[in-house]
Structure 1
Amino acid sequence: MDKRYYKEYYTLERGHWWFTVRAQILEDYVRRNIYKGSPLKILNVGVATGATSDMLAKFGEVTSLEYDADCCAFLREELNKEVINGSVLELPFGAGEYDLVCAFDVIEHVEDDTLAVREMKRVCKPGGDLFITVPALMVLWSQHDEVNHHFRRYKMSGVRALFEKDTDGSERFSSYFNSLLFPPIFVFRVLSKLLPKRSTKNNSGSDFGVFNNGFTNKLLAAFFRIELSWLRFSKFPVGVSILYSWKKS
């Protein structure tokens, strides 16, 4: 993550429509499907500025891990948060330590995503859960992915293949999401490829700075939030992101 970008992240994670509603969707899933009332031991991989760890703390004790050393320094010095500087490719934990291992929009940042998933499985307890999100569909690839140092976007079949390489568990739930806004986002991404790249002189160049004024932000959040109720009983066949939950045997 570029230094300018992670500093923007603190505000974005707590106010931008995509981050705030995504957090609500993730929290709702954990509350309904994983949390049984007793505190969980949770590993959150790739915490950025910590908003997802704050959400997960409602369900137990959270260990936060972040690869970006500058982001770790920001968390410690500016927010007084505990964080471990480490890589998902070599998690500094013993086997079977965690009830729940989360990686929200993380494994697209690493070249060897097979090893990343294997490591998350390793530190998960038998009977525990892995819960991830990833960006969906290479047709949506844009400058946003480049400034975020993504290696890829995923099809659902690709995510399933990653988890099925080791037959030590089973899928609990999977769905695309950010689906209702897929048509305009698709058009925006396609058009952005035809236009000159956005300048990164005064911003990160990501999509998060686009359509982010007060009224538009509230409108998009309200529209995106409709998906929360839908995902409680059904799935979306296409979307900008993928949600995937897996249970270890």
Structure 2
Amino acid sequence: MALRPAIPSSWTVDTLELRRIAEAQDDNWWYRERRAVLTRELNLLRTWGRGPGTAVDIGAGPGDTARLLARHGWRTTAVDLSYDAVEMACARGVDCRQADARWLPLPAGSVDLALAWDVLAHIEDDDLAAAEIARVLRPGGTALVAVPCDMALWSARDLALGRVRRYTREGLARLLAGAGLVVERMWSWNVLLRPLARWHRHRMNGWEIRPRHPLHDRLLGAVLALEDLLPVRSWRGTTLLARARLPK
């Protein structure tokens, strides 16, 4: 019988950081534009007849992304390693369970969508987590993955969030293919603001989520939204996004 792997405590985001994230998500430009990205992907899946259905939100944090999935009709189970995160998510009405991303509490082939939004970078043996995504997906199911990009951006912020790496395109493609997933699309996000993000990351923690004047917040959000109109998705950003599918 296989044994569950030990859970390193360094994988969890500290409670103070979780609370900062929870407080920022409603009004902050970074999280607002990320919700827009996910909404577009969910709408595409609906258009293609690939949802809504059952979903798992891996590394759910305070539960805001799981709530977005639910608003789009997905029957969502959220999981997070952090007890504090699970408590916060449950307080927001999310069905959230404490679980290791490498050992999901779900049967094989039980979900149509697996969301791994900024979780793989926290896991030393991320290949096991990727394999779990493939295991719980139904044949033809979709994985939506977001990871931080490029070790040149590594900073104290990554450490505060419990990350162990940032990714290259090649590394993420290799990880997903190794789990048996077929990458349909991979693209960069937050490209235009990358130089500013790189400059600030080595000077302060939480540059993306610190409070700002509303006009400043809207300007940053507008720059991110502008990327949809420009051919910059192949350039390096601060985040890599991927849509992958488990073959039928």
How would you bin the TM-score normalised by the shorter chain? 0.7 to 0.9
Which of residues 82, 104, 108 in structure 2 aligns to 1:91? 104
Q: CA deviation at 1:120?
A: 0.7
Hey, what does 1:217 align to over in structure 2? 217
* Distance in 2 separating the partners of 1:121 and 1:162: 11
* Distance in 1 separating the partners of 2:216 and 2:192: 16
Hey, what does 2:160 align to over in structure 1? 147
Q: Compared with structure 1, are the counterparts of its residues 93 and 209 closer, same or farther at alpha carbon in structure 2 (3 Å cutoff)?
A: closer
Hey, what does 1:207 align to over in structure 2? 207
Q: Compared with structure 1, are the counterparts of its residues 38 and 161 closer, same or farther at alpha carbon in structure 2 (3 Å cutoff)?
A: closer
Hey, what does 1:68 align to over in structure 2? 82
Aligned residue-pair number: 233
* Distance in 2 separating the partners of 1:247 and 1:97: 14
Deviation string, structure 1 residues 92-111 (Cα, Å, up to 9, x no partner)? 11110001100101111111
Hey, what does 2:243 align to over in structure 1? 245
Q: Give the gaps of 5 or more residues in structure 2.
A: 1-12
Corresponding position: 1:130 with 2:128? no
Contact 1:177 1:236 in 2 (8 A): no
* Distance in 1 separating the partners of 2:31 and 2:153: 18
With normalisation by structure 2, the TM-score equals: 0.87
Contact 1:177 1:240 in 2 (8 A): yes
Corresponding position: 1:46 with 2:46? no
Hey, what does 1:159 align to over in structure 2? 172
Corresponding position: 1:8 with 2:8? no
Q: CA deviation at 1:150?
A: 0.5
User: What's the % identity of the aligned pairs?
Assistant: 24
Q: Give the gaps of 5 or more residues in structure 1.
A: 193-197, 199-204
* Distance in 1 separating the partners of 2:175 and 2:20: 31
RMSD: 1.9
* Distance in 1 separating the partners of 2:94 and 2:73: 18
Hey, what does 1:201 align to over in structure 2? none
Contact 2:191 2:233 in 1 (8 A): no
Contact 1:25 1:228 in 2 (8 A): no
Hey, what does 2:227 align to over in structure 1? 227
Which of residues 192, 207, 216 in structure 2 aligns to 1:180? 192
**Secondary structure at the residue paired with 1:14?**
coil
Hey, what does 2:115 align to over in structure 1? 102
Hey, what does 2:38 align to over in structure 1? 26
* Distance in 1 separating the partners of 2:106 and 2:59: 15
User: Residues 109-128 of structure 1: matches in 2 within 5 Å?
Assistant: 109-128=122-141
With normalisation by structure 1, the TM-score equals: 0.87
**Secondary structure at the residue paired with 1:102?**
strand
